[in-house]
Structure 1
Amino acid sequence: MKDKILTMLESMASHGTAPEEGCSLFGVGYDDAFSRLQKVYLKRRFDRGASAEKFVVGPFGSGKSHFLHHLMEIARGENCVTAKVLLNKDVDFTQNLVVFKEVAKEIRLPHSNQHGIGSMIQGIVENIKSQSDNPYTGDLLLKGWISGLEQVDFRLTAYGKMLREACSAYLDDNRDRFDRLCQWLGGEMDNRELCKELQLSPVTAAEKNLQAKRAMFSLFQFVKHAGYQGTVVCFDEAEQGFAVDKKKMERIHSMLMANINSIVELNQGSVLLVYALTPDVVSKMDAFAALQQRIADPAPNEGFFDGNTFAPLIDLTKRSDMLEDLREIGEKLVQLMYEHFEEEMPVKRQTALERVRDRALRIVEQDLSSSTRRTMVKEVCTMLLRMYDDADEVAAAQDSEEDEV
């Protein structure tokens, strides 16, 4: 754990960006937000098989990535499958098959560090096999479950058949066939050679978007059918993928609206799709009335941070007390460091906390932009690491100050 914490702090000291793992160790100011999302979506709505979309809004440096990472950690704690996709310029959001391939590549079971649809299927098969103490009974249970996959009402009918064959291939230790089936299940549905081998018709250009959407929804249904609570997919850096010309932007808006409609209607999907967006991208949605009406708050003072958990927009700029936010960020980082390294730290915990509060006040006085959160993270992590790395020097300076007093 100590090495993990030091690595995490070093990364944040350099760039101020949220680590992939560990954000829940020092959740910064959104405890109530996560508690509500956990209760309403990850538990209550997922229990009913319901799905939804959220849009986390904030300028660069406002903590969007941290919010997504923390949410995914909470989701994994609730036995949810997760995936984080970077919607950079290399990912064309108007191409559903491209997006689906990224989701399938990044999907991850809650108690595993492995990503990808192959690892997911292996984990699911092994999990079902382990549900019986009797090997014979466990084998019968697993084979019955696998044979029933083709009978599940997946949005893409062929997906159930290929899932059944992939699970059987893994069980039979036919690695080559398993890998080929996972290629198709992961989005290689337009690969003519692969489809010929699997005795399937390749997806045509005209039907790619529709079939890819159905495949992605089928993936979410499979996760639920396998006994997991649901799936949380986070799309980070979406402002890069959405930095396109007007015509393509209109298509993205249309697809987002269609996704909202189809996600709501998805039966037994239990998926939460979360997009991280900058305010300028959200403002462009105002020009697309049908989409704007779906994501807008229902009334003034009825936004997410007003207590309306169902509001689609989670606007991180709506936090009221920036100074208190920065203090909380710094204090939690100090508490994390001292919880694990108190004996190695050359100054008392209270002294470090006082320095953090001074830094928070100075940063707010110098800069009122939302990027102050990133600045605060970088400064506090740097301060703590310098104390840890140069303990003797810091202690000597501390003694000198006390002597002068």
Structure 2
Amino acid sequence: MGETHLTPEIARHIIETVGGSGIPPEYGFQFFSVGLESYLKVIEDEYLTSYIRDGGAAFKMVIGMYGGGKTHFLYSIREIAWKHNYVVSYFPLSPDRTPFHRLDLVYAAIAANLIYPQEPSELIGGYERGIDSLIKRWFMDMVRRYREAGIPDERMRRELNTYVSSLGGYQSTSFRNAVRHAFLALLDKRDEDFNNIVQWLKGEGYDRAIHRRYGILQKIDKSSAFQMIRSLIEWVRDIGYTGLVVLMDEAERIPSMSSRQRESLLNNLRELIDECGHTGFRNAMFFYAVPDDSFLEGRAQIYEALRQRLSTVFDEELNPTGVRIDLEKAEVDPVLDLNQIGMKLARIYETAYGLRLPRRELAETVLNIARGAYNRRYGDVGYKRLFVQKVIQGFHKLRTSGEAVSAEEVGL
């Protein structure tokens, strides 16, 4: 994938996003990353360029408090995965739209958020996501290959028909029939058929009268969700990608669930971890990001079974096979890390506004706000998110006054 330089337009977008919500932008977070390099290098070297590429599968649980850098970390994983030609699905888990106790909705979220490798210009300018976009990209890539080879359209149509009919024997025959007929619908310019098929592939409903004509004979529910995920992984591999990386980000606190819902969540998580040890989940890596591991507190057998599966701790030197990635343990000196982030954001701020902040006052401002934010580390909002929001506010004050800004002046 290509690189891009920090332009004033990109810089201003970063400042507006980070200074407002405190959430990293989809492109631009790279310009102020600090402290994740060792973790990311191990994931790249030990997994994405070797074990996963060679047919393995893995599950990692990422632990980091709200505003503690989980999303930034997952975006970093996504960028590395794209570099190595993986399809990636990133999505937030939420109680109403994507609850983990409803595995059919988790499959639907994976399918709706699939993104093939993107260039910086595509990320900045906007891009399409979802299994429909991936099918279109697959179709266009195949057509381009034939046209570049100078093959006449009639012969191309025959050979593409033969090619798509020979797709592998996926666990779900309905999935195989769906992607095959979706490809042929694009070839024949049958938009309505394509949309009908994609509706089912995205888990948006099953109409027997409509879908059976495409060889789709099952609805997607909790009993078929894992079968669909396995088939999706196999198909992604068949159409030329290295594999699939799924990034699940618990973006808001999950309210109290019924005992049945909690048991379903735990069973689904246990089954997902176990599936990564089976051959049906080849070339796939799953990341489940949560604020803490309190959901494992319980006395029933399922709690103990999960605790055993999630007990090993990821360590870049001693145990890269560990399941738990604790983002706070990556920080040797949290205030120093914040200070480095702040100075990187200062450069972005200066690029955005075409100015240069006074150096001594800038260094003092960043350190003041870093210390103030870290002192709030036991609050409801992660101190990292609090810091990036407040340091942008501090830059605005420094720009106006020319004097160092204290933590108190930005509400810390």
Please confirm whether the aligned pair reaches a TM-score higher than 0.5, indicating the same fold. Answer: yes
- Greater displacement, 19-28 / 282-291: 282-291
In 2: Cα distance, 1:350 partner to 1:38 partner: 38
Q: Displacement, 1:371?
A: 1.7
Task: List gaps (5 residues or longer) in structure 1.
Answer: 399-405
8 Å CA contact 1:64, 1:276 repeated in 2: yes
**1:320 partnered with 2:332:** yes
| Aligned counterpart for 1:116 among listed residues 126, 130, 139 | 130
In the alignment, which of 306, 309, 313 is matched to residue 294 of structure 1?
309
Report the AA paired with residue 130 of structure 2: G
Q: Residue in 1 aligned with 2:410? A: none
8 Å CA contact retained: 1:346, 1:394: no
Aligned ranges for residues 21-100 of structure 1 at < 5 Å? Answer: 21-90=27-96, 91-100=98-107
Contact 2:211 2:217 in 1 (8 A): yes
Report the AA paired with residue 128 of structure 1.
Answer: M
Letter in 2 for 1:169: A
Find the aligned partners of 1:105 and 1:34 in 2 and give their Cα distance.
26
CA contact (8 A) 1:10 1:381 kept: no
Q: Counterparts of 1:232-251 in structure 2 under 5 Å? A: 232-237=245-250, 240-241=253-254, 243-251=256-264
Per the alignment, do residues 225 and 351 of structure 1 end up closer, same or farther by CA in structure 2, a change over 3 Å counting?
farther
Establish whether residue 261 from structure 1 lines up as the match of residue 277 from structure 2: no
Aligned equivalents of 1:260, 1:80: Cα separation in 2: 20
- 1:385 Cα deviation after fit: 4.9
What is the Cα deviation at residue 208 of structure 1?
2.5
- Counterpart in the other structure of 1:402: none
The one of 147, 162, 170 aligned to 2:165: 147
Counterpart of 2:108 in structure 1 is: 101
The whole-number CA distance in structure 1 between the counterparts of 2:206 and 2:84 is 35
Q: Decide whether the 8 Å contact of 2:102 with 2:264 is kept in 1.
A: no
Q: Distance in 2 between matches of 1:294 and 1:239?
A: 24
Deviation at 1:134, TM superposition (A): 1.6
Shift of 1:18: 2.1
Q: Tell me if 1:166 matches 2:176.
A: no
Q: Find 2:140's aligned residue among 96, 120, 126.
A: 126
Q: 2:40–2:77: 8 Å Cα contact kept in structure 1?
A: yes
The aligned counterpart of 2:22 is 16
Q: Deviations over 1:183-222 (max 9, x none)?
A: 122224643343344354343xxx8223121112211211
Cross-structure match for 1:401: none
Q: Is the 8 A contact 2:177 2:216 kept in 1?
A: no
AA aligned to 1:256 is: L
Q: Which amino acid aligns with 2:111?
A: A
Using the TM superposition, give the Cα deviation of residue 11 of structure 1 relative to its aligned residue in structure 2, in angstroms: 1.9
Q: C-alpha separation between the residues in 1 aligned to 2:240 and 2:77?
A: 20
Letter in 2 for 1:214: Q
Q: Equivalent residue for 1:371?
A: 382
Extract unaligned runs of 5+ from structure 2.
Answer: 1-6, 405-412
> 1:20–1:69: 8 Å Cα contact kept in structure 2?
yes
The root-mean-square deviation of aligned C-alpha atoms, in Å, is 2.8
Aligned to 2:394: 383
Counterpart contact for 1:184–1:194, Cα < 8 Å = no
The offset of 1:293, in angstroms, is 0.8
- Bigger mean CA deviation after superposition, 20-29 or 219-228: 20-29
Q: 1:281 aligns with which of 269, 291, 294?
A: 294
Structure 1 residues 326, 307: CA separation in 2 closer, same or farther (over 3 Å shift)? farther
TM-score, normalising length from structure 2?
A: 0.83
Q: Distance in 2 between matches of 1:129 and 1:175?
A: 17
One-letter identity of the residue aligned with 1:270? N
* Residues 214-246 of structure 1, C-alpha deviations (whole Å, 9 max, x = no match): 112211211111111222211112664574123
Equivalent position to 1:179, from 185, 191, 195: 195
Residue identity in the other structure for 1:96: L
Compared CA separation, residues 124 and 291, structure 1 to 2 (3 A): same
Task: Report the number of matched residues.
Answer: 382
Structure 1 length as normaliser, TM-score?
0.84
Change (3 A) 1:266 1:2: farther
Render the CA deviation track for 1:325-348: whole Å, top value 9, x for unaligned: 21222122223344x358x22424
User: Contact 1:52–1:273 (CA<8 Å) still a contact in 2?
Assistant: yes
Q: 1:367 to 1:256 in 2, by over 3 A?
A: closer
- From the two aligned structures, give the one with the greater helix fraction: 1
Give 1:173's aligned amino acid: K
Following superposition of structure 1 onto structure 2, how do residues 311-350 of structure 1 map, counting pairs within 5 Å? 311-318=322-329, 319-338=331-350, 340-341=351-352, 344-348=354-358
